A and B are shown apart, each in its own frame.
Chain A
């Protein structure tokens, strides 16, 4: 290693770097810290958009009010159900598609394009298509198929609202998982699979002992990235169920929206926002620990 250079003559030659760094760092600080600081500030304020006379320091009352409201616990539960269910579905289907589309078959490139396609559909549009064209109990394709087979059509957003939302969000995110995992599949050493075949491994065992260990890192990455985005799912809920019926599909994200822009309670919504940040950090902590364990071979 070179010696640390702190001699005065050398020092003069060194450039001052902080003027160059300041714009970027400053922008990042503004970008990240100002909204967070404002949220923190508002969460301790009495602040309601409908009544400008309510002002002043609120202490912990915004938090107390939120934590005591039955909607809060339900929303956290819903959030976890949504994220968990979508993660499981996308990872399982992602692995399946990655393995499938890695095989040689006629029309593979077109099939690959099609399996990626849902990713390019905007969440609002996707939700509307699913709600009105597919899952509608009267006009939807699912209802038509159900009637064709002699079943009673399911009114998804009335009877299984969370399942309905999960289906839509999973449909949007399977392509992402497939894309990352398919790329990873292509770097799998074919001779390893052949060696496993020679060793007597059949399909499921090759999946278990060769393919899944190979995919463990990309799987963790997919899991982490999806979690970040899934915690913020909003449009799909807004378009389909508006958080209902009752609280059935109100996630924390959606609850904050309800507090802020339906009740116009900025203080309460900010308290929810702060709690959401904490929740996201707890989830992130768990994920990063699994990633760290996985990445260290």
Chain B
């Protein structure tokens, strides 16, 4: 059982505030991913939860108890570090048993618990090795094992996959997902990689510049980004964000003029002359002869399972379109595009304008 409550949590270094009042509740057994660009404060917040950074203001509650001034080891949390931070002079088994040894757990029980964790992570054969003799992925597993052995209330992961190569990253991601399923414990995971966030999270918290942009399930964020930042951050390839001006509005729908001159209709009333931003995901664009947006294809990326085309529609940014791999689109060809539902609209402040779902 572990719920975490963050109440107006703040962190400042001198006069510079890096965490600007975070309110968040993390439920029991939930897998929460903190995601955001580097320097957005997500790691700092995780370290504040861990007890490695002092909390400047606000309250941190674990299971309803305020732990602002409780030392890290007494909070009952375990952390997996980006650099793994294994103790280089200790064997894998000693690394994993270190916390238990400090806590005065008898050797027999220590060994038993290390064995159990090692079996879960397939580290049985490596228990006598030193970290220097392990591969990156194995070290990563030892770091996770060290956390498991402590049977913590919650796991904290600080960009644990960023030192692994691409193939191993995918594999370890799956292992972490499995681990969460097996252990059924609360996990907080920090990453700058939105794919990790989308695949692992029960709920994603998107950070930017020390505050929360949006909290929601991966699909909520994908379908209903609350603002331009989240819209641009979640999804790959990135959502097309096109500046537009309202030409006319009839109370039911409005006609926009996109940057570059193409007309675009949205099913909501807007003030004439209002400046908005239209967001369309590359996978929500169809190529049809009836399409109102026309553009010349400038770059084609064949990914095998799909083809990404970048078409110039007259604006500053090209329009990214996801096409089936069988598509015979040619470089330099002029195509007509139409949205397939799911367009998003943002006002000048960058906040989403609600659209009726069609």
Binding site for B on A (CB under 8 A): 189, 191-192, 194-201, 205, 209-210, 213-214, 216, 297
| Pairwise interchain contact B102-A195, C-beta atoms closer than 8 A | no
Question: What are 19 A-to-B residue pairs whose CB atoms are below 8 Å?
Answer: A189-B85, A191-B81, A191-B82, A194-B79, A194-B81, A195-B81, A195-B87, A197-B52, A198-B50, A198-B79, A199-B102, A200-B73, A200-B103, A209-B90, A213-B87, A213-B88, A213-B89, A214-B89, A216-B89
Residue B83, interface by CB 8 Å: yes
Question: Given A197-B72, A200-B103, A192–B50 Cβ distance below 8 Å?
Answer: no
Question: Given A200-B73, A297-B132, A194–B102 Cβ distance below 8 Å?
Answer: no
Contacts of A201 in B (CB 8 A): 73, 98, 102
Contacts of A209 in B (CB 8 A): 87, 90, 98
Q: Cα distance A196–B101 when bound, in Å?
A: 12
Q: Cα distance A297–B133 when bound, in Å?
A: 10
Q: Which of A194, A200, A216 makes the CB contact (< 8 A) with B85?
A: A194
Question: Given A194-B52, A297-B132, A189–B99 Cβ distance below 8 Å?
Answer: no
Contacts of B87 in A (CB 8 A): 192, 195-196, 209-210, 213
Residue B284, interface by CB 8 Å: no
| Pairwise interchain contact A197-B73, C-beta atoms closer than 8 A | yes
| Pairwise interchain contact A191-B102, C-beta atoms closer than 8 A | no
Q: Cα distance A224–B98 when bound, in Å?
A: 32
Nearest CB on B from A296, distance (A): 11
Residue B345, interface by CB 8 Å: no
Contacts of B103 in A (CB 8 A): 200
Q: Which of B77, B82, B130 makes the CB contact (< 8 A) with A198?
A: B77
The 3 A-B residue pairs with the shortest CB-CB distance, nearest first, are A200-B73, A199-B99, A191-B85
Q: Cα distance A194–B85 when bound, in Å?
A: 8
Q: Cα distance A189–B83 when bound, in Å?
A: 9
B residues 65-86 touching A (CB-CB < 8 Å): 71-73, 77-79, 81-83, 85-86
Find the A residue at minimum CB distance from B47. A194
Q: Cα distance A199–B71 when bound, in Å?
A: 11
| Pairwise interchain contact A199-B98, C-beta atoms closer than 8 A | yes
Contacts of A197 in B (CB 8 A): 51-52, 71-73
Find the B residue at minimum CB distance from A210. B87
Nearest CB on B from A105, distance (A): 16
Q: Cα distance A140–B74 when bound, in Å?
A: 52
Give 20 A-B pairs besides A197-B51, A200-B103 with Cβ atoms closer than 8 angstroms: A189-B83, A189-B85, A191-B81, A192-B86, A194-B81, A195-B81, A195-B87, A197-B52, A197-B71, A197-B73, A198-B51, A198-B52, A198-B79, A199-B73, A199-B102, A201-B73, A210-B87, A213-B89, A297-B88, A297-B130
Q: Cα distance A261–B194 when bound, in Å?
A: 80
Find the B residue at minimum CB distance from A199. B99
Q: Cα distance A154–B51 when bound, in Å?
A: 50
Q: Cα distance A281–B83 when bound, in Å?
A: 42
Contacts of B50 in A (CB 8 A): 198
